[in-house]
Amino acid sequence: MTESLMTFWNELPVLIQILVKIVALLLPLMGTVAYYTLAERKIIGYMQVRLGPNRVGPRGALQPIADALKLVFKEIIIPSNASRLLFLSAPVLAFAPALAAWAVVPFDDGMVLADINAGLLYILALTSLGVYGVIIAGWASNSKYALLGAMRSAAQIVSYEIAMGFALVGVLMASGSLNLGEIVNAQGGGFWNWFIVWLFPLFLVYVISGVAETNRSPFDVVEGESEIVAGFHVEYSGMAFAVFFLAEYANMILISALTALLFLGGWLSPLQGILPDAAFSLPVIGWLLDSGIHWLLIKTAFFMFAFLWYRATFPRYRYDQIMRLGWKVLIPVTIVWIFVEGVLVALKIGPWSA
């Protein structure tokens, strides 16, 4: 049975194979995005001693579907003085990089859509493209609030990209590769080999600039409901508005997965090197304890939860404080730590001794 399936699979044209893989990657992702919005409302609700959505379906479980249906049937209003083509292409430009970046994310050893050498650079390049959706939306709307949001976003994303890039330079130095799979495998052998241990300052910088890159609270001056209404997407309605939201949530999941991959050993089990080898060969428990995709999902879920946690906990940063944090705190921290790492490599201390 499986053999005939495999031969059938191999008979398919390469283009169809790739398409099937893309669908197999994107469908769960879209489902996660939909239920991430529900999780956000529920979790922040509980943190604020409220119930959150609880009307549609059991305990509000069908709320995302109801929301999606409502947004699909709403009219898309195009402002009369807007630049039509750019106005409509902005959501696509925000959404496409958020999805395309998933092509190089490995879920398990070898379980990756495109196993390219420069995977880390590709991710960095694509996440920096997402800003175009925001800027074009702000300009094409022909509204001053939208333009203000777009300007804030451009400044913020360009500033934090530098800190993020430097944090990734540290990871690259420690692993000696730009391929995400090889970066994870370089952290094997037990959780004390994970990069979070030796690169802890870079881990903090990466998490903070990840929140800033996705324009999430406390760095959400781009939307700034209380100052500029909703920032760049104030003129959008219906599905065009929803696409911006999908892009934001897909980016949050991407940053969470990347944090897990780059600093927490991705799919590697934290029990490696602690339990005896016999434990991993037990029937079901052994599979659970051993490295696998479930560990990556658990680690990703933790950072996804943390995104919501920040939003419920921190007040919004002021614009000049955001710039100070990015340029005067995070970038010096990364430069100092890259220097420290260089010294450690030269003296052959730590995981770089080989």
Partner 1 sequence: MSFQLAMFYIFSAILVGAAAAMITVRNPVHAALCLVLAFFTSAALWIMMEAEFLGIVLVLVYVGAVMVLFLFVVMMLDVNIARLREGFIRFLPVGALVAAAMAVVMIMVVGARHFRIEPPAPAATDVGNTEMLGRLIYTEYVYPFELAAVILLVAIVAAITLTLRRRPGTRHIDPAEQVKVKREDRIRIVKMEAEKK
Contact status: 324 vs partner 1 (CB under 8 A)? yes
Helices 238-263 and 200-213, interaxial angle, to 10°? Answer: 170
Contact status: 320 vs partner 1 (CB under 8 A)? yes
Measured between alpha carbons, how far is 341 from 183 in angstroms, rounded to an integer? 16
The site string for partner 1 over 256-285 (x = CB under 8 A, - otherwise) reads ------------------------------
Least distance from partner 1 to the Cβ atom of residue 251, Å? 14
The closest alpha carbon to 174, from 344, 333, 331, belongs to: 344
Helices 238-263 and 84-100, interaxial angle, to 10°? Answer: 30
Contact status: 139 vs partner 1 (CB under 8 A)? yes
Cα 242 to chain centroid distance, Å, stands at 18
Least distance from partner 1 to the Cβ atom of residue 285, Å? 40
DSSP state of 350: G
* Chain position carrying tokens 């890039």: 165
Contact status: 161 vs partner 1 (CB under 8 A)? yes
Measured between alpha carbons, how far is 253 from 259 in angstroms, rounded to an integer? 10
Q: Which amino acid is at 38?
A: L
Contact status: 147 vs partner 1 (CB under 8 A)? yes
Measured between alpha carbons, how far is 30 from 253 in angstroms, rounded to an integer? 11
Contact status: 178 vs partner 1 (CB under 8 A)? yes
Of 123-131, 192-200, 201-209, 230-238: span binding partner 1 (CB under 8 A): 123-131
CA distance from start to end of the chain: 46
The site string for partner 1 over 99-118 (x = CB under 8 A, - otherwise) reads -----------------xxx
Q: DSSP string spanning 284-332? A: SHHHHHSSSHHHHHHHHHHHHHHHHHHHHHPPPPPHHHHHHIIIIIIHH
**Cis ω before 315 (30° cut-off from 0):** no
* Chain position carrying tokens 């929140």: 211
Q: Which is nearer to partner 1, 134 or 296 (CB)?
A: 134
Q: Which of 100, 121, 239, 344 binds partner 1 (CB under 8 A)?
A: 121
Contact status: 129 vs partner 1 (CB under 8 A)? yes
The closest alpha carbon to 180, from 126, 97, 257, belongs to: 257
Contact status: 341 vs partner 1 (CB under 8 A)? no
Contact status: 229 vs partner 1 (CB under 8 A)? no
Q: Which is nearer to partner 1, 22 or 151 (CB)?
A: 151
Contact status: 313 vs partner 1 (CB under 8 A)? no
Contact status: 150 vs partner 1 (CB under 8 A)? yes
Contact status: 128 vs partner 1 (CB under 8 A)? yes
Contact status: 125 vs partner 1 (CB under 8 A)? yes
Q: Which is nearer to partner 1, 94 or 157 (CB)?
A: 157
Q: Which of 151, 239, 297, 301 binds partner 1 (CB under 8 A)?
A: 151
Q: Tell me which residues touch partner 1 (CB under 8 A).
A: 86, 116-118, 121-122, 124-125, 128-129, 131-132, 135-136, 138-139, 147, 150-151, 154-155, 157-158, 161, 178, 318, 320-321, 324, 328
